[in-house]
Chains A and B, each alone.
Chain A
Amino acid sequence: MLASFVIVKIVLCVVVFAISLGIAAYSTLWERKFAAFLQDRIGPNRAGPGGIFQPLADGGKLFFKEEIIPDVSNKFLFILGPSLFMITALMTGVVIPWGKDFIWNGQKIAIQITDINVGILYLLGVVSVGVYGIMIGGWASNNKYSLLGALRASSQMISYEISMGLLIIALIISAGGTLSLKEIVERQDAGLANIVYQPLGFLLFFVCALAETNRAPFDLPETESELVGGYHTEYSSMKLGLYLFAEYINMFISSAVMSALYFGGYNFPFASEVYAALGLQEGSLAISLIGASVYFIKIIIFINVFMWIRWTLPRFRFDQLMNLGWKYLMPLSLLNLIITVVVEYFRGNINF
């Protein structure tokens, strides 16, 4: 029992790890392709058919680049920065429910590494630790531009985390008061997806997610074209690669979180009818797999929207960014929270 449990979890860990890395790697290629299509170009197409090996070539190139560690930097922290950023990015995948439970040899197996009952808080916590990766990296470089870039990045991420937290509170209230991602997703199976109850919440959450993942139009931390590289100015070779790569993992994970929180994760409309029509038993592996693929389709759509926005909008100025975060998003999320509370009170879901 215990052995099988451990084996299942290890397999799940490896699979989630591999899928996160794989999706992140191919997001880099698709990002370039998508950008090219939006700009009437073709994009990378020389490495393998249609450029399919481009991520491998990019990674290989990064490994062979000269590795520069500044003399005056704190070497331990300099290496810790990107590692921390990467580790936290990978850690977020742990609480995400990828598919329905299924029965195997009379045992119930969950396609989720762990279902902790404070899943969302865990996510927020890990994301906040990710800021340390940037801060430490920027500080350890011993370069004023890196430090300023790190400050820019962390102040942005912290500001947007506040609205994100408020939005999640509103979501939890309307989703029935559970913090477990699995339960939130399961509840959307029976009823409607949360987007129906929280349209404003979703919109604001999406903006916050853009800012949290440092994606355009909120890519102030990087600002490669006007403010020197940002926190990774001094980084080269694969350490830079880790920073950039972790951002793609973050994008993947935040797409996963958004589709879980607001779009029902692995559920889809008329799911039970479809399963019945296919003649699938409740709890079979096929149902889990279909659910998981639906989930991945949602995630990929989100990733595409992220890219679409990046290649459409110019970057905000830093004061505009802060204005938007504190003067618009924060009050609006508070408003959203108040409306949710009032509505739920009258629906009788909460009482004081």
Chain B
Amino acid sequence: MLTLTNRKKIVSNKEQSFSEKIYLPAVLKGMSITISHLFRKKATIQYPEEERPRSPVYRGRHVLKRDENGAERCTACGLCALACPAEAITMVAAERKPGEEHLYREEKYAKVYEINMLRCIFCGLCEDACPKEAIFLTDRLVDAEFWRDDFIYGKDKLVEPIEKDKRIDISKRQTAAVLEFKKIPGLRHNVLYDKKKIDK
């Protein structure tokens, strides 16, 4: 007969032997196996105190970056929402008023910016789509919550603190390959934009 796998086993329906019928040898064998596990190393990872090692490029909870001056980089272009396969991102755009230049880098900014962490699949496409290098995924985890509503993260939870020393470090995910990728012409929106501004 044709064998599809080398792991096949012929099942036999033979009568049980006496030692199998009285169960005891098998019971004792089983008990010796379980007791041998008593002092093994525990597999448990006690989560809040201990964390499972994660890859340096782990894609976790998002951050909305600020620029060097502390202004929000996001311009509410909506490309991230468009790219998002899980449709987790919603935003409401607003126009920057004079005198708010220190808060928002571009003339248009996101008044409301929400990510539903229950919908998000942490694919990172929003990060790829963003022309302003405003949104990044970080190696932080999304906390557990009691209510579903609390998983809709608004700007209060997404935008990084303005203080320089409290900024969220995203350099871990910016590996050499990623940085190389960002040099591809056509993806360098920022540079082109800045160049145009300089040309004027």
- Chain A CB within 8 A of B27 CB: yes
A38 touches B44 (CB 8 A): no
- Chain B CB within 8 A of A39 CB: yes
Interface SS, B side:
loop
List A contacts of B22 (CB < 8 A).
328
B33: nearest residue on chain A (CB-CB)? A312
A 26-72 contacts with B by CB, 8 A = 37-42
- The distance from the CB of A134 to the nearest CB of chain B, in whole angstroms, is 26
- Chain A CB within 8 A of B10 CB: no
B37 touches A313 (CB 8 A): no
Interface size of B as a range: 10 to 19
- The distance from the CB of A63 to the nearest CB of chain B, in whole angstroms, is 22
Indicate which residue in A40, A41, A308 contacts B35 across the interface (CB closer than 8 Å): A308
B44 touches A311 (CB 8 A): no
Give the complex CA separation of A42 and B41 in angstroms.
Answer: 10
Give the complex CA separation of A281 and B10 in angstroms.
Answer: 70
A203: nearest residue on chain B (CB-CB)? B24
A39 touches B35 (CB 8 A): no
A38 touches B37 (CB 8 A): yes
B34 touches A41 (CB 8 A): no
- The distance from the CB of A189 to the nearest CB of chain B, in whole angstroms, is 31
- Chain B CB within 8 A of A309 CB: yes
Indicate which residue in A37, A309, A328 contacts B38 across the interface (CB closer than 8 Å): A37
- Chain A CB within 8 A of B148 CB: no
Hey, what's the 0/1 contact readout for B179-193 against A, CB within 8 Å counting as 1? 000000000000000
> Which residues of B approach A to under 8 Å, CB–CB?
22, 27, 30-31, 33-35, 37-44, 46
> Which residues of A approach B to under 8 Å, CB–CB?
37-42, 308-309, 311-313, 328
Known: A37-B37, A308-B34, A313-B27. 8 other contacts (CB 8 A): A38-B37, A40-B37, A42-B42, A42-B46, A308-B31, A309-B27, A311-B34, A312-B34
